Amino acid sequence: MALLRPCLSNVLNRYKIITNRHVTCLNLLRKRHHYSGQAITAISDLLQDLGPQFYADGDKIRFLHQPTDFYQELLSKIKTAKKRITLASLYIGNGSLEQRMVDELQQVSRSSIQLNKPLDINILLDYTRGSRGKQNSRKMLLPLINESHSSVNVALFHTPHLRGPLKAIVPERFNETIGLSHLKVYLFDNDVIISGANLSDSYFVNRQDRYIVIEDNPEFANFFQDLITVVSKYSLQLQPDDTTKMLEDINVHPYENNDSSQEFINAMRSDIHQLLHKYKDSIKNNNLSKSNTVIFPLIQMGPFEVRFDEEATQRLFGSLRKDSTLLLASGYFNLIEKYLATILTKSKGDYKILTAAPEANGFYGASGIAGYIPDSYTYIAKQFYQRIVSENQDQRIKLLEYERQGWTFHVKGLWYYYQQEQLPSMTLIGSSNFGYRSTYRDLEAQIAVVTSESNLQELMKAEQESIFSYGKAVNQDVFRSDRRQVAFWAQMVTKYILWKFL
C-alpha cells in the first residue's frame, strides 16, 4: 500500500484538476448563457413597441461575405423559386451579369407558364435612378414584361417631393437627391435576402456590402411581400412599350397636378401604417420564449412619417452601457446630429466606426461635380473626429477607414456586443446609412436580428471581423496629409447645403 499511495495521490490530483476545469467551463457556459439571455431581453425591450417582430430559427439564418456569393445566391434562388420572386432595389444595371440575371428570370417565368403554374414576379425600383440614361433598368426589363406580362409586374417609385417646377428644373441624376426608394429586399418563396447591395455589376464583383439570408420563414417573407406591394401600389407601373402609368384604382399621383403632394402622401402613409399595425397586432400576444432569435423590421420612410429605424438607432446609441461595445459601419458617413450628440455625450460604451477611405468611396474618380463627393465625406469625417478629440472621447470612440485595393465600400449596419461578451447579441443590417437622406428623404428597410443562439452569434462575429479587417485607424495625421485637404469652397458647400443630400 505504501508503494501505491503516491500513484493514488497523483490520480486523485489529476481528477481534481480535470473536475475543476470541468466546473470552470460549466460556470463559464452558464455565465455566457445568462448574459446572452439578458442581452436578448434588454435589447428586445428597447425595440418591442416599434413595430412587428418575427421569431426565427437561428440555423436558418446565414451571412454571405463576398459580392460573388451574393450574385450566385440570387441566381440559385431565382432558378429554384416555385411561387413568387420579389426584388426591391434602387436599380438594375445593364451589364452582362445583370443580363444573365434577367435571362434567368425570363427562363423561370417561361417554364412556369409552360407547366401551367405561373410564377409571380414583382420588381420594385426607383423611378429616377431606374430611368437614368438611354440604356437603363427599364430597358433591361422590357423583354421580361413583354414575354410574361400577365405574371410580371415592374413598379417604379417616384418621390412625391419631386414635382412641379422642381421636377422641370433639376436635371437627370441630380433629381435622385430629392428622394428615392432605397429598399434592398430580395424574396424567393419564403426565403428573404436583406442587403444594402443593388442589382448591378460592381455589387456582384468588388463592392463590399452585407447580405443576410433568412430561409423558410413565411411570416417574415409575407411581411416584406406586403410592404413592397403597398409601395408598388403607389408607384408608376412599367408598360410593355416603356411608358408608365398609375394603377387604375389609385386616384392620386406622385407628381402630376401642381398643387400640394400631401394628398398622395396621406394616402400612401395610411396604407403603410395600416399594414404595420396589422402585423404588429398579429404577434402582440407572442413572447420571447418561443425562440432565441427575434427579427425586428425597422422601416424608415421619412416622407410618410414611418420612423422605426431612426427611433431604434437612437435608443441603441442612448442605452449603450459602459461595459458594452457597438461597432458601426457606413459607406457614406453622415450621421444626423442627434446620433452624433448621443454617441458623444450620452452613450457610455465603446464605439468603433468604420467608413470608406476616399479611394473606397463609390464616387471616387467620378466625372463632374460627383467627383468632389468623396471630399465632402472627408470633411464630415474630419469634423466628427475633431469633436471626438475636443470632448476627450478618443479612447472610447475609434474612427476607422476601409482600405482595400481595387474595392469600394458600401457596407452599412451595426453589431452590438453586450456587457463584455465576446460574441455580438444583435446586428442591424439593411439599406440605411444612418445619414440625413436615409432618415428624412428615402425609403429604407433595415432589420434588427437579436439572438442568444451561439452558432448565429459566431456567424455575426465572423462577418463583422471580416469587414473590419480592412479598417485602418484614423488620427490627426491622416487628416493633415496633403491627400485629405478639402478646398474651402467644398467645405462651405458641404456644411451649408450638401449635407442634407448625402
Give me the number of domains the chain comprises: 2
Burial class (CB in 10 A: 0-12, 13-18, 19+), 301: buried
Instruction: Give me the catalytic one of 77, 167, 182, 410.
Output: 182
Q: Is 2's pLDDT higher than 60?
A: no
Which pLDDT does position 19 carry in this prediction?
39
In a domain, 36, yes or no: no
How much is the pTM? 0.90
241 is catalytic: no
Q: Among 271, 291, 311, give the residue marking a domain's end.
A: 291
Which pLDDT does position 258 carry in this prediction?
61
Whether residues 218 and 366 share a domain: the answer is: no
> At 365, which helix (H) or strand (E)?
none
Distances (CA, A) of 411 to 100, 162, 290, 428: 25, 28, 32, 11
Q: What is the mean pLDDT of the chain?
A: 89
Q: Is 198's pLDDT higher than 50?
A: yes
Instruction: Give me the catalytic one of 189, 209, 309, 375.
Output: 189
In a domain, 243, yes or no: yes
Using one digit for the tens of pLDDT, what is the confidence trace for 441-476? 999 999 999 999 999 999 999 999 999 999 999 998
Q: Is 30's pLDDT higher than 70?
A: no
pLDDT above 70 covers a percentage of the chain that reads 90
Instruction: Give me the catalytic one of 77, 167, 184, 398.
Output: 184
In a domain, 33, yes or no: no
Whether residues 322 and 426 share a domain: the answer is: yes
Give the residue, 358 or 35, on which the prediction is more confident: 358
Least confident of 215-219, 286-290, 431-435: 286-290
Q: β-pairing, 54-55 with 61-64? A: unpaired
Residue 110 belongs to a domain with what CATH number? 3.30.870.10
327: cell is: 461597432
Whether residues 283 and 305 share a domain: the answer is: no
Which pLDDT does position 231 carry in this prediction?
98
> At 386, which helix (H) or strand (E)?
helix 373-390
Whether residues 188 and 143 share a domain: the answer is: yes
65 is catalytic: no
Banded pLDDT at 4 (limits 50, 70, 90): very low
Whether residues 241 and 315 share a domain: the answer is: no
CB 292 within 8 A of CB 317: no
Q: Is 268's pLDDT higher than 60?
A: yes
182 is catalytic: yes
CB 125 within 8 A of CB 155: yes
Whether residues 213 and 329 share a domain: the answer is: no
Using one digit for the tens of pLDDT, what is the confidence trace for 52-104? 999 999 999 999 999 999 999 999 999 999 999 999 999 999 999 999 999 99
Backbone dihedral region for residue 368 (phi beyond 0: left; psi -120 to 50: alpha; all else: beta): left
466-490 in b/e form (b: 16+ CB < 10 A) is: ebbebbeebeeebbeeeebebeeeb
Least confident of 145-154, 281-290, 325-334, 402-411: 281-290
CA–CA distance, 112 with 107 (Å, rounded to integer): 9
Specify the 3-state DSSP secondary structure of 84. strand
What is the residue range of 228's domain?
A: 52-291
In a domain, 6, yes or no: no
